[in-house]
Structure 1
Amino acid sequence: MEYYVYRNGNPFGPYNLSDLTSLVKAGKVLKCDKLSSVSTATEDKEFVAVRDVLEDNNISVKVDNAGSLMSQLRHISKDLLFPKELKEKETWKSDTRLLVLACIGLFPLVAAYFVPSGWLSYYCIALYFSVVWWSFFNYMFKSPQVNAKTSVTIFFLMQAIVFVAWDALGLPNLNFFYGATNQDYPMLFQFIGFIFGVGFTEEFAKMLPLIWLVKKTKKPLVPQTLVFYGLISGLAFGVYEGVQYQMTENMKLDGSERFLMNIARLTSLPFIHAIWCAIGGFFISFAVLYPRYRKALWALALIIPAVLHGIYDTMCGNGLTAIFVALPLCVFCVGLLVHYLKNSGNYQNRLR
């Protein structure tokens, strides 16, 4: 019986069993390659592995070695193993993937060696995770209007706002609703405190870079663009807050809990901050595109993220409510943002 060998969808052959055995022994055909007999009709073609055909015919084949270990290494050659091109600057300049891969993979190690411990080391790692998140957001949500320069501007503008308003001036403390966030108060009081104290304050601050952007832009920005920049603004707030928590509240935790919370403060929590701000960015875009409905749309841009933020903060303080309410709420927030983006056309039809 003769067979065709199929590799990557291409047929080779036909070969009889003797030829097939020789090819396997020479390493030209692999035992995992697929076979089809010549007699099989095209429309009823059945594939079997080479090893199965050999075993069915009681044929045992061992692939020949191409010489000793050293001779095989010499054949591969040191030029392939250690290419001279890596010593040349042009190689690194022409293939940006090399630089990106090296930077993403090695930055934490470089920071560990060269950045002094303390606030600066925390901030460097926060920037590292920000770049990782930016890469992910860029893949998932990027629109043709998005550019890296504006993304960087939004990011550091948001962090400057937080530094001035929170750290330098302490302006959020003027919001008396903050006093109701005490864990000893009834949950209703905490809801009020976290929604009107924390939620509205922080979500309004995260909106400021987006407001600046829509005021200065010279062309209409589509919803996906404002969603992306909202993600960047929320991310900037989240990682800055994460650094503050790592140096204060997280220091009070024991080893394992502290480790997990430090990771969460640079990953999941900045992510959910980004999602809330992106929801706000969605409505800001429509407020600009359809100014006749701007009052309602600007209100929604602040109210929806602030309420979601406040509910989350209220529920995440207790173990059970964190698991059964806060965590599902985060999933709901992600789904809500995706729903808004998928239905942006419906919003446009309604607001025209």
Structure 2
Amino acid sequence: MTVPPGPQGQPQGPQPQQQPGYGWPDGQYQGPGPQYQQPQQQQPQQPQQPLYQEPQYQQHYAGQGQQYLGEPPYGFGPYAPPRPPRPTHTAFPSPAVVLPFQRWLRDRSLRNWITVLFVGLVVVPSFALVAFPDLSQATQSSWVFAVYFACAWLLVLWISVRPPMVKPLMLAEVAAIGLVLEAPLAVFLERTLHAGTDNVVSSVFTVGIPEEFAKALPIAVLAYVHRHAWASLTPKDYLFLGAVSGLAFGAAEAVEYITKVIPGEMTQAAQEGASPAAVVLASITQGSWRFVTDPMSHAIWAGITGYFIGLAVRFTRHRVWLAIFGLALTAVLHGVNDYVAGHFWWIVEIVVSVLLFVAYSQAGGVIEQDLSAAEQAADAARPQPSGPAPWPGAHPGWGPPQPPAWNPAAGWGTSGFTPLPGHYAPPPPAAPYPPYPGGSA
């Protein structure tokens, strides 16, 4: 029976069940029964592959010799991102960028006196050797090296003391007077008193007092001459100015020893049979010691004297005794130093002098507080006038004691303060307002 085709050419009605082989391409029908299997050629056994296969991007970079850094995401092995290609050339920056001379010239931090001093400390030794190469110019070169070491110590003192009110012009005045007048005045006084260090008393009165007086005199004279301009200076400032005066005196003394005293001693030692090598070694040792230590030793003693001059200027009630005590203290230290030089007690004296200088420079405000309290107590104990003053200020110094002055520029820390006229301590902070009843306002 034939089923007529449908409208699209497909047979209509139920279709018989498809038989095996119906619709298979030619030659591919497999009927029922045992099937014939074409023998297959056996393949060689491949090595077993690991369960984890390295990612392709790792294999790619590993082939290029890349380094794998960091922790990769999702548990993969180490990897590194691809490097960007290098530029074919590098551009050199503009010379105005790497050497900004115009900006440096406008920078104020490169034009202060500390920068100039630092540059001079580096250049001066070479300059002295070039400018004074002959032995006949030993005096000139000695002066250069003496001033060089004095300036080096000046930089150290400035960093350690930090004077709040000292200006470069003040330093120039003190240094100039010290270099010109202090050494000749000290030599004149010592010759008049027949200086000697045979015993400690002679060393104190014939060496210590003349030299310390010569170093303190310029500070006292300048304090009187500039009493209005220097009215704001603190005792700490006077300590630093005294140290500068001592540096100038020490430099002049070092030149005197280098050019006159040491050559005479070495000549005498050579005449007595000392070997040339021993003479040269001794002259180098003594000369180096004089250049390095003379300015600083005198600066320490003169700085202590200058501190007491500053106290005398500030506290007029005790002016005379403060000045005398400062001069006597440093004269004793100086005299004992010269008497025990070269022995164990010499080291002890140097340590004591340095510790006193540091104590006065860093914790001297305690002394000023006590002196201020003593002056206020003395003012409060003075009798008051019976009647009112006819005009304000008619009785100067009378009335209730004023609160202590306050100097915002003297950084004495917790040990005290340095009073300055016209500057009063700020009032204590006000108490907080009570809480608003019922909540916030």
TM normalised by structure 2 equals 0.56
Runs of 4+ in 1 over 4 A off after TM superposition: 74-80, 82-86, 90-94, 97-101
Q: Does 1:260 align with 2:260?
A: no
Q: Give 2:132's aligned residue.
A: 115
For residues 269-327 of structure 1, the C-alpha deviation after alignment (integer angstroms, 9 at most, x for no partner) is: 211110001111111111111121122211111100000000000000x4xx2xx1112
For 2:202, give the aligned amino acid.
Answer: G
Q: Does 1:19 align with 2:69?
A: yes
Contact 1:92 1:99 in 2 (8 A): no
Question: C-alpha displacement at 1:263, in angstroms?
Answer: 2.0
Q: Give 1:106's aligned residue.
A: 123
C-alpha separation in 1, matches of 2:158 and 2:336:
28
Q: Does 1:231 align with 2:221?
A: no
Q: Give 1:161's aligned residue.
A: 181
Q: Name the SS for the 1:145 alignment partner.
A: coil
Question: C-alpha displacement at 1:93, in angstroms?
Answer: 6.6
For 1:214, give the aligned amino acid.
Answer: A
C-alpha separation in 2, matches of 1:92 and 1:257:
47
For residues 200-247 of structure 1, the C-alpha deviation after alignment (integer angstroms, 9 at most, x for no partner) is: 000000001110122122114211101100110011101110010001
For 2:224, give the aligned amino acid.
Answer: K
Q: Does 1:250 align with 2:262?
A: yes
Deviation larger for 91-100 or 204-213:
91-100
C-alpha separation in 2, matches of 1:243 and 1:294:
35
Of 299, 311, 314, 1:289 maps to 314
Q: Name the SS for the 2:68 alignment partner.
A: helix
Contact 1:230 1:277 in 2 (8 A): yes
Q: Give 1:37's aligned residue.
A: none
C-alpha separation in 1, matches of 2:142 and 2:289:
13
Q: Name the SS for the 1:19 alignment partner.
A: coil
1:77/1:266 CA distance change after superposition, 3 Å: farther
Question: C-alpha displacement at 1:138, in angstroms?
Answer: 1.4
Which structure is higher in strand share?
1
For residues 131-166 of structure 1, the C-alpha deviation after alignment (integer angstroms, 9 at most, x for no partner) is: 212211111113221011110110110121135425
Q: Give 1:302's aligned residue.
A: 327
C-alpha separation in 1, matches of 2:193 and 2:293:
27
Q: Give 1:269's aligned residue.
A: 294
Q: Does 1:147 align with 2:156?
A: no
C-alpha separation in 2, matches of 1:276 and 1:239:
14
For residues 236-261 of structure 1, the C-alpha deviation after alignment (integer angstroms, 9 at most, x for no partner) is: 10111001000122223422232222
Q: Give 1:191's aligned residue.
A: 200
Q: Give 1:48's aligned residue.
A: none
Contiguous gaps of at least 5 residues in structure 1: 1-16, 23-58, 182-188
Q: Give 1:42's aligned residue.
A: none
Q: Name the SS for the 1:326 alignment partner.
A: helix
C-alpha separation in 1, matches of 2:216 and 2:337:
19
1:155/1:99 CA distance change after superposition, 3 Å: closer
C-alpha separation in 2, matches of 1:250 and 1:83:
50
Q: Give 1:33's aligned residue.
A: none
Of 327, 338, 343, 2:358 maps to 338
1:283/1:160 CA distance change after superposition, 3 Å: same
For 2:240, give the aligned amino acid.
Answer: F
Q: Which has the larger radius of gyration?
A: 2
Question: C-alpha displacement at 1:332, in angstroms?
Answer: 1.1
Percent sequence identity over aligned pairs: 24
Question: C-alpha displacement at 1:104, in angstroms?
Answer: 2.1
C-alpha separation in 1, matches of 2:104 and 2:363:
45
For 2:132, give the aligned amino acid.
Answer: V
Contact 1:220 1:289 in 2 (8 A): no
Structure 2 counterparts to residues 161-180 of structure 1, below 5 A: 161-165=181-185, 170-176=188-194, 178=195, 180=196
TM normalised by structure 1 equals 0.69
**Aligned positions, number:** 275
C-alpha separation in 2, matches of 1:99 and 1:172:
37
1:101/1:313 CA distance change after superposition, 3 Å: closer
C-alpha separation in 1, matches of 2:177 and 2:211:
15
For 1:311, give the aligned amino acid.
Answer: V
1:311/1:100 CA distance change after superposition, 3 Å: closer
Q: Give 1:212's aligned residue.
A: 221
Of 207, 221, 229, 2:233 maps to 221
Question: C-alpha displacement at 1:91, in angstroms?
Answer: 4.3
For residues 7-45 of structure 1, the C-alpha deviation after alignment (integer angstroms, 9 at most, x for no partner) is: xxxxxxxxxx933499xxxxxxxxxxxxxxxxxxxxxxx
Q: Give 1:44's aligned residue.
A: none
C-alpha separation in 2, matches of 1:76 and 1:223:
58
RMSD: 3.3
Which structure is higher in helix share?
1
Contact 2:183 2:249 in 1 (8 A): no
